Structure formats: structure tokens, C-alpha cells
Structure 1
Amino acid sequence: MGAVGLGCMPMSWAYSSSQQRGERSLRTVHSALDAGSSLLDTADMYGPFTNELLLGRVLKERRADAFVSTKAGLLVGDQHIVANGRPGYVKRACDASLRRLQTDVIDLYQLHRADPEVPVEETWGAMAELVGAGKVRALGMCAVGARASRRSGGDLYAGTIRQLERMQQVFPVSTVQAELSVWSPQALERLLPWCEARGVGFLAATPLGNGFLTGTLTPGQGFEPDDVRARHPRFTAEMMAANQPVVAGLRRVAARHGGGVTPAQVALAWVLAQGRHVVPVPGTKRPEWAVENAGAWKLELTAYDLAEIAALPPARGSWD
């Protein structure tokens, strides 16, 4: 598995639908694989289903080049997204994902979100049976949505860690996926140390801050109504302007390294520097950005670089 993965969600979910072009997305996946980003991260809910179908077209030709990660446990309705952790559903979802992905086995199967109506041990036990059946190689937990506990003043990932401890009693947790970036470092407090102490891999979601840390977005620019950033507190014109010092700091570090190094590569290199089991999974739907992201592993930040990034002002605007 390469040092930097490819998040496939933007190709068919959550970002500017007018920019979601199938053939370009296919080129993006191929470009990422060519550049060494073998981890392809998707989910059945992205689309829904269209993301896995798109990847299946690539995997049919290049299965040996890819480490396939998909997720189950969330259902997309007309008005809401709801969790479904019932054992029977998870097993059926796995079979459906295998068909869409055109593969005989999923390398990493992630629980997208725990179902509050189903004991997590039951869901995880069903997923473990999929490993025993040879349909899945390893299991992971997606904790991207665990931020709500911050509103009550609690430890951000306290509930997630309690769940993970329970899951470990049933079957080994191979990976945890959660948000981690220069402007959202909260996972460093307890979640990443928990993973490191147990040899659990950490997949860093949105390591480029939903695109903000690339330096390609400008304050006040509009987002399409179906783009998650249109409703994100950090993407108002006021907050984007207030957070420009974060991007300016990444630009300074990039300029110091020369050779066409970009702020996005600095942001990804920072994530990589947080631990040897950390894999950033930046999402993109453009081939050139997939190649740029994949090259971030070559950038070795100095102690001075890391200190400068650590001294950047905290990001303004609500995290969630």
C-alpha cells in the first residue's frame, strides 16, 4: 500500500456534481495507481453505489495494483442518512459491494458508522464472519463523524475509543479512519495514540481540509448547493479570509523546499510525519492532483518546518 491513498468520494458524492465526470474520474484512478497510490478508498453510500461501480471498471483491469477499501453501515434516504448495523444487512451489503467492485475480495472493509440501535459487537461479529468466509481481508472503523462529543465539552473521541475497545474483544481492528490535517489536528490528542499503542493503522481523512489547504480556493468563492462546503462553517467568506494565515504558512514551507513543492504536498507531508502507521487519504477527481498528492511522500519536512507549522494560528470557525 502506497504512502498516500486516493479518496474516491469526490468523484460521485459531496462535492460539486457539475464537476463529476466519469471518464476524468477513471483517468484519476489510473493516474493515482500509476503514481503509487494503491489504496483506493470508497463506500457503498457514495453516489449511492456509483462510486463503487466506477472503481469496478478500473479494478477489472488492474486489481493486482490496488488495495481496495470500502465501507458499509450507512443508508442514503430522501431526507436523511441513517446507520444500519444489522448483521444481515452488513453481509448483504458486502456481497453487493463485491459485485459492483468486480472483485472476489475486499482488502479492507470498514464500518462506516456504528448503529446506535445495534450493539457494535453484533455488527463487528458479522463483519468478522466475512473475513472467515474469505470475502474480506481486514476490518476497519470509520470515525470521521465522531466529532459531536466536542459540543458537550467532552473528549472528542472518547466514545469512539470505548467502541473500539469493545470491538477489539470480538475481532482485531486493523485500521481507524478519522479526520486529521493541519487545521483539524484533534485526533492527535487521544485517537492516534490509541492506534499507535496497538499497531492499528490510521487512515487520515480530509488531510487537505476539504481543499482549503491546497491554496487553490479563494475567500468568497461560491460553492454549488450540493457541495458540503456550501454549508461548512469554515467555508464562509469571513472564515476563509480569517484562515488564510494557515495557507500562507504552508506556502512558506513549500517555497523553502523549492522544486515545485506545493502547499498541498506540505500538508500531506505533515500528516505523514505524525506516525509511521498514518496514511493520508486525500480525495480528488482530477488526475493531475492525484499525481501531485501521491508525490508528497518524497517531501521530508525538517524540524524547523514542523515547528513553523505547529506555530500557525489555530483554524477559525466551528470544526463541525
Structure 2
Amino acid sequence: MERRTVGAAALAVGAVGLGCMPMSWAYSTSRQGGEESLRAVHTALDHGTTLLDTADMYGPFTNELLLGRVLRERRAEAFVATKCGLLVGDQHIVANGRPGYVRRACDASLRRLQTDTIDLYQLHRVDPEVPVEETWGAMAELVAAGKVRALGLCAVGARGNRRTGAALYDETIRHLVRVQQVFPVASVQAELSVWAAEALDELLPWCTARGVGFLAAMPLGNGFLTGTLTPGGGFESDDLRARHPRFTAEMMAANQPIVVGLRRVAQRYGATAAQVALAWTLAQAPEVVPVPGTKSARWSAENAGAAGLRLSDADLAEIAELPPARGSWD
């Protein structure tokens, strides 16, 4: 698999990463199986994927524990990216950027992941009650201590995931400018896909101009861009798509032309719509590493295969002409 670099430290990773969140968080609990998830991680590594993206809040904690079972055997093959900064309560999720918490969270993640070093430690959310420089300073201390190799920031605003687009990314850039004065930012993780391309306006250019890696979250549009979801969904109540405006029956039907367009391009290459969607993301800049999430070994292999697909300028122009996605939180 093609290798790409993350940040000025030139940390090399496979061009397509693996998002581990669906294995224990946010998607259909009844279909979250430990053994199948383990196979998904092993398959990803077998196909050249190295960046494994998780977080302490996924589960909470069970995602890192699961990944640790693989890392115990295959740590040398993996680039481990995890996150701190969010606490899961009974009714809500809250940000915590206090330095003492950051230090404790890192030590706990190292134990669960069964590793001595985290390759990329990401701040999941900026705590509005704590100056971001204080949080970032504590994270920088972890690098100095040898517990972490590089630091990243996730583009999640203080009001949560429902804040998207220009407002969120403007806020993210302001945070980036502040933390860069404390310690270099190796990566930014933010949503980027064929149906959510707002990061192309300012956030990705900011990263590319400074050699900051860009981890493209949700590059398959929460599964929609794979073309495997049935309009209407039938999502379980604990599945985040059950509450997402783009996953109502009406909006899924309205957005089908996007999938049809991806399939049309895919047919020319003997590929799938999902692979074209990932190849589009890869084509946006050399700094971009898409991180599609899955708990299936089958999809792990298919996603990894997208690294070898090169879209032509004509393909990219055709995708650019697809209708914009309908349905939003606004």
C-alpha cells in the first residue's frame, strides 16, 4: 500500500487507515461482535493498513481493550492513534481538558492498548472551561516523557458533533493557531467525504500549507456512500444514524444520485462505490489519510484496496458535478 506522512515529523502510515469506533460505539450494538472486529483489524493490517484510530471514550474503554488484543501480537505493524478529552456520562458526554486528567487518561490508554507508546495522541474536544494551551502543554509533556510520539487535534466544537461546516472549522483553525505556539500539531482529524466537503474550503488548505496531516473522518458518509444501505435504514435506536437528518427515508432516497454517480465511475475500474469515494478523498491532497470505520473484515479489505485506485481528472470533475447532499443538522 502507498505510504503517506503525518505531520512534519514525517511519521509514515498506510494511505488508508482503519476507524475502530464502529466496533464498540455509535453503530448498532447488536452487530458489534468482538471476534469479527478482531478479524477486521487483522485483515486491515494484512492489506497494508497501519493507522488504527480509536479513542478512550469508545465503549467507553472497550475499543482500546479490543485493539490491545491485536497490538499484543502485531504492535510493530501498527500506527496507533487514540484520543482523550471526552468523558462519557449516563446522559451526556462532557469535555475534560484539565492537565491532570490528560496525564491519567494517557496512562490508562497505554495499559488498555498494551503498548509503551502511542504514535498519535489526539485531543478529541477542546474543553471550553480550560485554556487549550494548558491542555496541549500537558499533552506535549507526554511526548517529552516518551509516552506519545506526536499530537493531533480533532475538529469537534464545544457544542458537539452537530456543529459542522464553516463555523466548526473556523473555530478549529483558531485552536490550531494557539496550540502551534506550544507544540507542533502533527494532524487534524475532521469529516471529509464526497457528501461533506466543507473542510476543503479552509481547514485542509491550512493543513497542507503547514505540512500538517489530515485524517479524513467519515470518508464513506457513515456508510451511505458505500451504496449498501437501504433507504429508510431500519437503524437500531442506539445507532447514530437513527437520529441523523440525512438518514431519514426521504433524505436517503433524495441522495441516491450521489451513490449512482460513484457507481458509474466505479464501473470503469471494476471497483466499488466505496472505493471510489475513498479514492476521491485521497486525491484531495497528499496529506490526506482517510479513516473509514468498520467492524467487518470484508470491508476492511475492500477499503484498503482503494489505496491502489487512481481517479483521473475527468473522474474527479464528474464527481464534482454530483448534486450536493440534502439533509443537515441546521
Q: TM-score, normalised by structure 1?
A: 0.97
2: distance between equivalents of 1:49 and 1:78?
15
Match of 2:303?
293
Match of 1:277?
287
Match of 2:7?
none
**Partners of 1:5 and 1:40 within 8 A in 2:** yes
Picking from 134, 137, 147, the partner of 2:146 is 134
1: distance between equivalents of 2:113 and 2:187?
21
Match of 2:68?
56
Compute the displacement of 1:220 (Å): 1.4
1: distance between equivalents of 2:301 and 2:43?
6
Whichever residue aligns with residue 98 of structure 2, its letter is R
Residue 239 in structure 1 maps to residue 251 in structure 2: yes
2: distance between equivalents of 1:150 and 1:62?
36
2: distance between equivalents of 1:257 and 1:210?
23
- C-alpha change, 1:144 and 1:297, in structure 2 (3 Å) is farther
Q: Alpha carbon RMSD of aligned pairs, Å?
A: 1.2
Compute the displacement of 1:221 (Å): 2.6
**Partners of 1:70 and 1:110 within 8 A in 2:** yes
- C-alpha change, 1:102 and 1:72, in structure 2 (3 Å) is same
Q: Give unpaired runs (5+ residues) of structure 2.
A: 1-12
Match of 1:38?
50
**Partners of 2:215 and 2:290 within 8 A in 1:** yes
Q: Which runs of 4+ in 1 moved over 6 A?
A: none
1: distance between equivalents of 2:106 and 2:318?
44
Aligned ranges for residues 192-231 of structure 1 at < 5 Å? Answer: 192-231=204-243
Aligned ranges for residues 94-113 of structure 1 at < 5 Å? Answer: 94-113=106-125
- C-alpha change, 1:285 and 1:150, in structure 2 (3 Å) is closer
Whichever residue aligns with residue 3 of structure 1, its letter is A
Whichever residue aligns with residue 183 of structure 2, its letter is F
Residue 312 in structure 1 maps to residue 326 in structure 2: no
* Deviation string, structure 1 residues 78-128 (Cα, Å, up to 9, x no partner): 001000000000000000000000000000000000000000000000000
Aligned ranges for residues 107-126 of structure 1 at < 5 Å? Answer: 107-126=119-138
Secondary structure of the residue aligned to 1:70 is strand
Compute the displacement of 1:49 (Å): 0.1
Q: TM-score, normalised by structure 2?
A: 0.94
Aligned ranges for residues 128-167 of structure 1 at < 5 Å? Answer: 128-145=140-157, 155-167=167-179
Task: Give aligned pairs, total.
Answer: 316
2: distance between equivalents of 1:303 and 1:128?
41
2: distance between equivalents of 1:148 and 1:245?
25
Residue 17 in structure 1 maps to residue 8 in structure 2: no
**Partners of 1:156 and 1:186 within 8 A in 2:** no
1: distance between equivalents of 2:263 and 2:156?
27
* Deviation string, structure 1 residues 40-94 (Cα, Å, up to 9, x no partner): 0000000000000000000000000000000000000000100000000000000
Q: Give unpaired runs (5+ residues) of structure 1.
A: none
Residue 4 in structure 1 maps to residue 23 in structure 2: no
